[in-house]
Each structure stands twice: as C-alpha cells, then as structure tokens.
Structure 1
Amino acid sequence: MHKLTRTPSLGDAATSRRSAGAVCTYRVIATAGVFEPGFRGGGPIRSLRYILDTLPGDLDVTLVTRDRDLGSPAPYPGLSGRLLRRDGRSAVFYLNPWSPRHWVRMARHVRARPVDLLYVNSIWSLFSVLSILAVALRLVRVGAVLVAPRGELSPGALAIRTAKKRLFLALWAPVLRRLRVRWQACSRLEERQIRANVPWARVMVNGNESPIPAHPVPPVVPHDGPLRLVFVGRISPMKNLSTALEAVAGTTRPVEFDIFGPAEDARYWSRCQRLVAAMPEHVRVRYLGELAAADVVPTFSRYDAFLFPTLGENFGHVILESLAAGCPVVCSDDTPFSELIRDTGGTVVRPTTAAGLSRVLDLLADRTPGERAAAKVTAGERYRRWRQECREPHVLAHAREFCR
C-alpha cells in the first residue's frame, strides 16, 4: 500500500495545492464502497489502486470511500473522517456514511474547486446513488458522470435478488439517461451486458486496471502426491464455491483443495460447510481464512490449478494473479479471459456443471509430477507473453476524451 499522509484541513488542502502551482487541468471525484487498507472487496480495490498509482500528470483525483472494510463493523484505525494524500496527485477521503459531520467535510472539499468528472464504481452502492442524486439536484456541478458497474449487470449478478435489482434499475435508469451519464466496461463481454440492460448506454471499453507484474514468479518444484487445487475469492453465491466443492467431491482421484477468502454470505457459507463435511475420504478440503492482497500471487504459486467456477466476472483480477504465479485456471466461460485461460493451458468448462468440472479434475490428477510442473511453466510463460502485448490507455485519460 502506498504511503498516506494526513491532511490537516480539507479547505487548506485545496488552497495549498493551488498555491504550490500544481497542474490540475482535469479534476476527478471518484466513489467506491471499499478501498485500501481493506481487501475484502477483491478486484475493484486493486483496479482503483492501479488507477490512482498510474495517474497521468494533469489529472487530480479524490476517491471517496467507506471508512471500513467490506462487512466490518469497525473503522480503519486513525482514518475515519480524514482526507489523506497518497503519493502523487490523488487523495482518499474515508467517510462514515452515518456521520453528518463527515458528509459536511467531504462536501466542502468536493465543492472547493470545479469537478470535471464524477467517476462512480457501482450502480447500487450508496456512494454512487447519493453522489449522482447530488448532481441531479444541482447540489454539485460536474462536467460529466462515468459509471463503472464492476460486473453488477452480468446475468449471474442480476440473478441474485433479481426483483429488487430490476425494480431499482427501472426507476434509476431514467435518471441516469437524463443526466447523459457515460458507462465504463472492463471488457467487450461487460459492454454487451451493459447494453442488454441499458440499451441507450454510451459505453467506453477499457480494462487497463491490472497491477499484476509483467513477470510471473518462478514455478514451484515438482511434487509427488495428490493434485493440489485452490479457490481464492469472496465466499458468496456469485463466486460459486458450492459448485467447486461438488466438483471435487465427484472426483475419483485423490485431491487436496484449499479455500481462501472472506465468508461474505453466512447462509451460503453454511451450505458450503455442509458440503465439506460430506466429502469422500480421498478428498481433503481446508478453509484457510482470508488473504491480504500481497499474499495472493505467492499463494497461487504453491498449487497445480485454480478452480474458479464463477457465475460472472467483468474483469477477473484473480485469474491474472493465478496466471502470474504460473497456476493454470479451471474456470467457467463467464469471464473476459476464456481465450487466455485456454492459451495458458487451463480449461474453460461450458456448461459449468459439477460433473463437467470433476472430469477435468480427474484428468489433471492423472498427470505425473513432471507434467504438472511443466503445465505451470507453460502458464507462466504464456501469461508473460500476453501481458507484454496488452496495452491500453489510462482509464481516466481515456474517460477525459470519451466524456467530452
């Protein structure tokens, strides 16, 4: 995480930047439900960190976010209600949504200078709704609004609490249309999902949000013993851990399956625990808790394959992290990276049934230790080649041109 420094006063912060002669030709206010030092929010946190870390020289960005991690009752120590400058031209305001004083301080900072772009990361988030309402009611004047749904309009995401989401979208879409908001998709897949739900949308496609290192870590030494599988992700219906568990239970070969991630949905996690309790003797399953962002790639390097039957990813940072570690991916066909997964020696299973996944896992388990190690080398080398060819402009630089 980048070093953060306390800003004594919101008004003083804006004044000091002007007096220092900083070049701020394009000012962005971004919103997100969770950010560092939190990590439970997964990929969007890493996207936003990368966006802030790589800002072009003439952009100035303030990110407004909650003062605690996803699902946490306690705020980050020493951060609640504060505006903190990061290295470079970005700042983060950590807001308690239930504190009127925080809202007043945040509003004073936002209105201190003209805002060129409001960049909201979510459709449903309280931060997104309130900030867009402020624009609609002319409490804040902005040059343009850019909405990044972060996979919330995928079929898998909309299938969860469908009635509420459809009703909200029916009421909210006319407001967004009247404001002439623009949309950001992280892939062509997400662009199609946005247009399927918001036919009038003007969509900018840009997925340059990955801080994954260009060179993967060295592959591990070949090992004897069972196939080593891993799941890294939020434990929620969207990530589909239950199908992964049913798949390993249906294998006929010895398998070790380790699970990492926050138990976001207690009822769903109880269902998964029941599946774990019923595992056959040749399958060992362990839940090993949550992973800090810095530990994800090193963890993947210890496994033979990443089992990830997700119901949908607008981007899928965790897939790239697995490949950066030389860990092939066994995945659904509901991500932007199906072609990359196949090219790096992984398997895309369609339809993503437990039985179909079990057959793939048995084939992987039949490989010799040398063949598993070779597959890891292949995944890492082909990932590196793809990464070197993957070039897109900075998201907010692209947005500046797109939203004119």
Structure 2
Amino acid sequence: MRKLTRTPFPDDAATPRPSVGAVGTYRVIATAGVFEPGFRGGGPIRSLRFILDTLPGDLDVTLVTRDRDLGSPAPYPGLSGRLLRRDERSAVFYLNPAVPRHWVRLIRHVRACPVDLLYVNSIWSLFSVLSILVVALRLVRVGAILVAPRGELSPGALAIRAAKKRLFLALWAPLLRRLGVRWQACSWLEEEQIRANVPWAQVMVNGNESPIPEHPAPPAVAHDGPLRLVFVGRISPMKNLDTALEAVAGTTRPVEFDIFGPAEDPHYWSRCQRIIAAMPGHVRVRYLGELAAADVMPTFSRYDVFLFPTLGENFGHVILESLASGCPVVCSDNTPFSELIADTGGMVVRPATAADLGRVLDLLADRTPEERVEAKETAGRRYRHWRQRRREPNVLEHARRFCR
C-alpha cells in the first residue's frame, strides 16, 4: 500500500494545506464503500488503487471511503475522519457516516474548489446515494456524474433481495436520468446488463486495468498427490461457494479443496459448513481464513485449479490473478473472461451446475503430475500474451472526455 500523509483541515492552522483544484486541473470526487488499507472488498479496491496510481498530471482526485474494512466493527487505527494525501494528485478521506464533524470537514474540503466530476462506485452504497442526493439538492455543484455499478446490475446480483433492489431502482433511476448521469461498464457484458436495466443509459466501457504482473509465475513443481483446488473470494451467495462445495462432494477421485476469503454472510457460510461436514472420505476441505492482497497470487501459484462458479463478475480481477500465477480456472459463464479462461487451458462450464462441475473436476483429477505442471505453465504463458495486447486509458482520463 502506498504511504499516506495527513492533510490538515482549515482548523489545523499550524500547517499550510496542500493546494487542490489548481488552475487547469480536472477535479474529481470519488466515492467507494471500502479502500486500502482494507482488503475484504476484493477487486474494486485494486481497481481504485490502480486508477489513483496512474492519474495524469492534471487530475486531482479525492476518494471518500468508509473508515473501516468491509464488515469490520472497528475503524482503521489513526485514519478515521482524516484526509490523507497519497501523492500530489490524489487524497483519501476516511469517513465515519455516524460522526457529524466528519461530514463538516468533508463538505468544507469538497466545496473549497469547483468539482468537475463525481465518480461513484456502486448503485446501492450509502456513499453513492448520499453524494448524488447532495448534488440533486444543489448543496454541491458538479460538472458531471459517473456511476460504476461494479457488477450490481448482473442477473445474479439482482436476484439477491430482488424485490428491494427492483423497487429502489424504479424510484432512483428517474432521478439519475434527470441529473444526466453517465455510466461506466468494465466490460461489454456489464454494458449489456446496464442497458437491460437502464435503457436510456449513456455507457462508457473501460476494462478497469489493474496492476497484475506480466512477469512469469514461479516454476510449477510436479506432485503425486490429489488434485489441489482453491477458492479465493468473498463467502457470499454471489460467489456461489456452496455449488463449488457440492461439485467437490460429487467427485469420484481424491481431491483437496482449500477456501480463502471473508465470511461475509453468516447464514450462507453456515450452509457451506454443513456441506463441508458431510464430505465423503476421499475429499479434504479446509477453510484457511482471509488473504491480504499481497498474498493472493503466491497462494494461487500453489494450486492446480481455481474453482470459481460465480453468479456474476463485472470484471473479475481474481481470475486474472489466478492466471497470472499459473493457476488454470474452472468457472461459470458469468464473467467477461470466458474466452480467455478457455484459451489459457481452463474450462467454462455451461450451466455451472454441481453435477457438471464435478464431472470436469474428475477429468482434471485424472491428469498426471506432468500434465498438471504443463497446464499451469500454459495458463501463465497465455495470460501474459493476452495481457501484452490489452491496454486502456486511465478510467478518469477516459471519463473526462466521455462526460463533456
């Protein structure tokens, strides 16, 4: 994580405040429910970090985020209510929505200079709703608003608490239309999902580049044991871990399945634990806790297959991290990367039922140690070739042109 330095507010009179909104700069206020040093939010955190790390020199961005990690009851030590500069172009404000003085400080900072763009990540987030309402009430004026749904309009996501989401969208969408809101999709798939729910939307497609290395993964080492499967992700209905567990339980060959990720939904995790408790004797399943971002790729490199029957990904950073680590992917057809997964030696299962996934796992378990090593090397090599051909502009630089 980049080192942050505290930026004093006007009431911190002892130290002059860094300049913001200088003449000629394009000023952006961005919002996100979670950011570094948190890691439970997964891919969107890495997307935002990459966006801030690669800003053109004439952009000035303040990211407003919660003062704690996803699902955590405690704030980050020493960050709550603070505005911290990451570098000369970006800063992060760590907000506790329940503390009035945080809002006073934030509004004072936002209104210090004109805002060219409000960039909100999520439709349902409190940060997104409140910031758009503030603009609608003319408490703050902005040049344009860009909404990044981050997969929230996928069929799988909308099926969870569907009635509430549909009602909210029916009430919220007319206001967004009146404000002339633009939309960011991370893939052609997400663009279709946005248009299916918001037919009038003007959509900017930008694939959310992220700092996933292009250099080769550590050499794979052959092993004679069972097929080594891994799941890395939030333990929530969207990621569909229960189907992965049912698939593993239905295999006829010895397999080992390790699970990493925060148990975001306790009721859902209880269901998963019941499936684990009933596993047949030839299957070993372990829950190994959460992974910091820096540990994700080294972890993937130790496994033969990433099993990921997700109900929907707007981008799917974790898929790219797996491939970059030389770990083939067995996945549903609910991501933008089905073609890449197949090209890198993985398998896209349509439909991703437990029975069909289990049959695929049996085929992979029958591979020799040498064939597993070859599959890992193929995944890493073909990923690097794909990566070298794919480049997109910084999302906010793209937005500056798109939102004119």
Q: TM-score range by the shorter chain?
A: over 0.9
Equivalent residue for 1:383?
A: 383
Query: Equivalent residue of 1:60, what SS?
Result: strand
Equivalent residue for 1:227?
A: 227
Equivalent residue for 2:314?
A: 314
| Pairwise CA distance, 1:88 | 3.8
| AA partner of residue 60 (structure 2) | D
Question: Does the 8 Å CA contact 1:50/1:210 hold for their aligned counterparts?
Answer: yes
Equivalent residue for 1:304?
A: 304
Cα offsets for 1:350-403 (capped at 9, x unmatched): 001001001110010000000000000000000000000011111000000000
Cα offsets for 1:138-182 (capped at 9, x unmatched): 000000000000000000000000000000000000000000000
1:348 lines up with 2:385 in the alignment: no
| Pairwise CA distance, 1:224 | 1.0
| Pairwise CA distance, 1:10 | 5.2
Equivalent residue for 1:58?
A: 58
Question: Does the 8 Å CA contact 1:147/1:182 hold for their aligned counterparts?
Answer: yes
Question: Does the 8 Å CA contact 2:61/2:91 hold for their aligned counterparts?
Answer: yes
Question: Does the 8 Å CA contact 1:212/1:320 hold for their aligned counterparts?
Answer: yes
Equivalent residue for 1:168?
A: 168
Distance in 2, Cα, partners of 1:64 & 1:327 = 35
1:99 lines up with 2:99 in the alignment: yes
1:239 lines up with 2:239 in the alignment: yes
TM-align CA RMSD: 1.5
- Aligned pairs for 1:179-258 (under 5 A) are 179-258=179-258
Question: Does the 8 Å CA contact 2:182/2:201 hold for their aligned counterparts?
Answer: yes
Query: Equivalent residue of 2:79, what SS?
Result: coil
Query: Equivalent residue of 1:27, what SS?
Result: strand
| AA partner of residue 284 (structure 2) | R
1:373 lines up with 2:373 in the alignment: yes
| AA partner of residue 196 (structure 1) | A
Judging changes above 3 Å, is the alpha-carbon distance between structure 1 residues 11 and 317 closer, same or farther for their aligned structure 2 residues?
farther
Distance in 2, Cα, partners of 1:24 & 1:267 = 51
Question: Does the 8 Å CA contact 1:11/1:109 hold for their aligned counterparts?
Answer: no
Equivalent residue for 1:128?
A: 128
Question: Does the 8 Å CA contact 1:11/1:108 hold for their aligned counterparts?
Answer: no
Unaligned 5+ runs, structure 2: none
Query: Equivalent residue of 1:117, what SS?
Result: strand
Q: Percent identity?
A: 86
| Pairwise CA distance, 1:6 | 1.1
Cα offsets for 1:103-143 (capped at 9, x unmatched): 01000000000000000000000000000000000000000
1:82 lines up with 2:79 in the alignment: no
Question: Does the 8 Å CA contact 1:229/1:306 hold for their aligned counterparts?
Answer: yes
| AA partner of residue 92 (structure 1) | V
Distance in 1, Cα, partners of 2:19 & 2:108 = 16
Equivalent residue for 2:283?
A: 283
Distance in 2, Cα, partners of 1:149 & 1:15 = 37
1:3 lines up with 2:10 in the alignment: no
Question: Does the 8 Å CA contact 1:191/1:205 hold for their aligned counterparts?
Answer: yes
Question: Does the 8 Å CA contact 2:25/2:58 hold for their aligned counterparts?
Answer: yes
Which moved further from structure 2: 7-16 or 389-398?
7-16
Cα offsets for 1:168-206 (capped at 9, x unmatched): 000000000000000000000000000000000000000
Distance in 1, Cα, partners of 2:23 & 2:338 = 41
Equivalent residue for 1:335?
A: 335
| Pairwise CA distance, 1:239 | 0.1
With the length of structure 2 as denominator, give the TM-score of the two structures: 0.98
Cα offsets for 1:195-245 (capped at 9, x unmatched): 000000000000133210112322321111100000000000000000000
Query: Equivalent residue of 1:222, what SS?
Result: coil
Paired residue total: 403
With the length of structure 1 as denominator, give the TM-score of the two structures: 0.98
Equivalent residue for 1:70?
A: 70
| AA partner of residue 372 (structure 1) | R
Equivalent residue for 2:399?
A: 399
Question: Does the 8 Å CA contact 1:250/1:354 hold for their aligned counterparts?
Answer: yes
| Pairwise CA distance, 1:23 | 6.4
Distance in 1, Cα, partners of 2:144 & 2:12 = 26
Cα offsets for 1:19-60 (capped at 9, x unmatched): 9x9665100000000000001111111110110111111101
Equivalent residue for 1:108?
A: 108
| Pairwise CA distance, 1:275 | 0.2
Cα offsets for 1:314-367 (capped at 9, x unmatched): 000000000010000000000000000000000000001001001110010000
Question: Does the 8 Å CA contact 1:23/1:58 hold for their aligned counterparts?
Answer: no
Distance in 1, Cα, partners of 2:368 & 2:10 = 61
Question: Does the 8 Å CA contact 2:341/2:347 hold for their aligned counterparts?
Answer: yes
Poorly superposed stretches of 4+, deviation over 3 Å: 10-19, 21-24
